Amino acid sequence: METLKCMRLDERMEANELVAPEPLLGTWLNTNSATQGVTRAVLFAKDGQFKLQIFGAGHPGPCDWGETSASFFATDASSTEAMAFSAFYDFGFMDTRLQGHVRQGVLIIAKFDRFKDTSGRSNYFSKEFFYRTDQ
Amino acid sequence: METLQCVKAEDLVERSDIGQHGDRLLLDSLTGIWRNTNSKTRGIVKVEIAVRGSSLIVHAVGAGEVDLSDWGEVEAEHIFGNSISSHVAAGFTAQYDFDFSQVHLQANWNQGLLVVASFTSFKDGSNRSNYFSREFFHR
């Protein structure tokens, strides 16, 4: 039997199927309705790919970040159910790396914002919580 | 007054609220040997973080069957504070590229713990699923 290479013990098992992203697909709303960060995250399938669309808090209305590709990740190497994603937005003056994972029905999105302009704003990390909605 | 570009309201701050350090964050807050709070972990056992010049060096060690699995050192890709006006490092991203897998680490410091999320993607054609894990480390 072929021995699988691994860098940690929990990588020794294989899965029988591809990771199914359905548990993450849908519209997720921030649990904090007064957030100044991300108000809404939408994960969906499009043309055989998986996409993320983020809406940031803005004035007078939400700021649509547009669509970006999302990669899905399972709980472990033998699991076939997605429970996390990562995605990246590049806005020119800044970029942000997003990582989300579901825990007890709550989607936790961590944002790693990096400013590329000369504003002097610090690159920073933040985390927000989202619940699924049918909207 | 100059208007700063932003894609969410929290990034719209007054110039006077921004430190004059730019993206130069103080790195010492992250340095040291961070051990997994779960001594029986099958994932990452410890992470050593050091400053070398202006770089943050990350050295992860994974659980192994007999011996620990030394991942070696990588330089953190990006370093982050915990707010837009902070001057203290509170998180980083780093990437390991092995011949059979790629691991992207995203870490943040929170209440004395280093929370490390890892996104592992396999590239060896095995039937292993790309997977996510999140572990907690104390200094």
B88 in any annotated domain? yes
What is the total count of domains within chain B? Answer: 1
The pLDDT value given to residue B4: 79
Structural domain containing residue A28: 16-133
State whether B15 and A11 contact (CB < 8 Å).
no
Question: Mean pLDDT across the stretch B109-114?
Answer: 91
pLDDT, tens digit (0-9, with 9 covering 90-100), for A9-40: 878 777 777 888 899 999 999 999 999 999 99
Q: What is the pTM of this model?
A: 0.87
A123 in any annotated domain? yes
Query: Taking a C-beta distance cutoff of 8 angstroms, is the pair A89, A54 a contact?
Result: yes
Q: Does A90 touch chain B (CB under 8 A)?
A: no
- Using CB atoms within 10 Å of the CB of residue B72, give its burial: 0 to 12 exposed, 13 to 18 middle, 19+ buried: exposed
The pLDDT value given to residue B69: 92
Structural domain containing residue B66: 25-138
B2 in any annotated domain? no
- B101 falls in which pLDDT band (50, 70, 90)? very high
A68 in any annotated domain? yes
- B76 vs B81: CA distance, rounded Å: 14
Q: Is the pLDDT of residue B21 over 60?
A: no
Residues 6+ apart with CB under 8 A from A58: B7, B8, B9
The secondary structure of B13-35 as a DSSP string is: --GGGS-TTTT--B-GGG-EEEE
The pLDDT value given to residue B3: 73
The pLDDT value given to residue B17: 59
B90 in any annotated domain? yes
State whether A74 and B132 contact (CB < 8 Å).
yes
Higher pLDDT, B93 or A11: B93
State whether B101 and A56 contact (CB < 8 Å).
no
- ipTM attached to this prediction: 0.84
Query: Taking a C-beta distance cutoff of 8 angstroms, is the pair A109, A20 a contact?
Result: no
The pLDDT value given to residue A67: 97
Domain CATH for B98: 2.40.128
B29 in any annotated domain? yes
Percent of chain A residues topping a pLDDT of 70:
98
Is the backbone peptide bond immediately before A62 cis, with ω within 30 degrees of 0? Answer: no
Query: Taking a C-beta distance cutoff of 8 angstroms, is the pair B107, B116 a contact?
Result: yes
Where would I find the H helices in chain A? none
Strand-strand pairing, B32-36 and B113-122: unpaired
State whether B65 and A120 contact (CB < 8 Å).
no
Q: Output the CA–CA distances (angstroms, integers) from residue B41 to A8, A20, B3, B36, B120, in the order listed.
A: 9, 26, 48, 7, 16
- Tell me which chain A residues have a C-beta less than 8 angstroms from the C-beta of B85: 121-122
B13 in any annotated domain? no
- B70 falls in which pLDDT band (50, 70, 90)? very high
B87 in any annotated domain? yes
- A3 falls in which pLDDT band (50, 70, 90)? confident
Q: Does B139 touch chain A (CB under 8 A)?
A: no
Q: Does B134 touch chain A (CB under 8 A)?
A: yes
Domain CATH for A52: 2.40.128.30
Query: Taking a C-beta distance cutoff of 8 angstroms, is the pair B28, B90 a contact?
Result: no
- A106 falls in which pLDDT band (50, 70, 90)? very high
The pLDDT value given to residue B18: 59
Higher pLDDT, A69 or B127: A69
pLDDT, tens digit (0-9, with 9 covering 90-100), for A41-55: 999 999 889 999 999
Q: How many CB atoms lie within 10 A of CB A37?
A: 19
The pLDDT value given to residue B16: 58
- Tell me which chain B residues have a C-beta less than 8 angstroms from the C-beta of A114: 23, 78, 80
B12 in any annotated domain? no
What is the total count of domains within chain A? Answer: 1
Query: Taking a C-beta distance cutoff of 8 angstroms, is the pair B75, B94 a contact?
Result: yes
Higher pLDDT, B96 or B2: B96
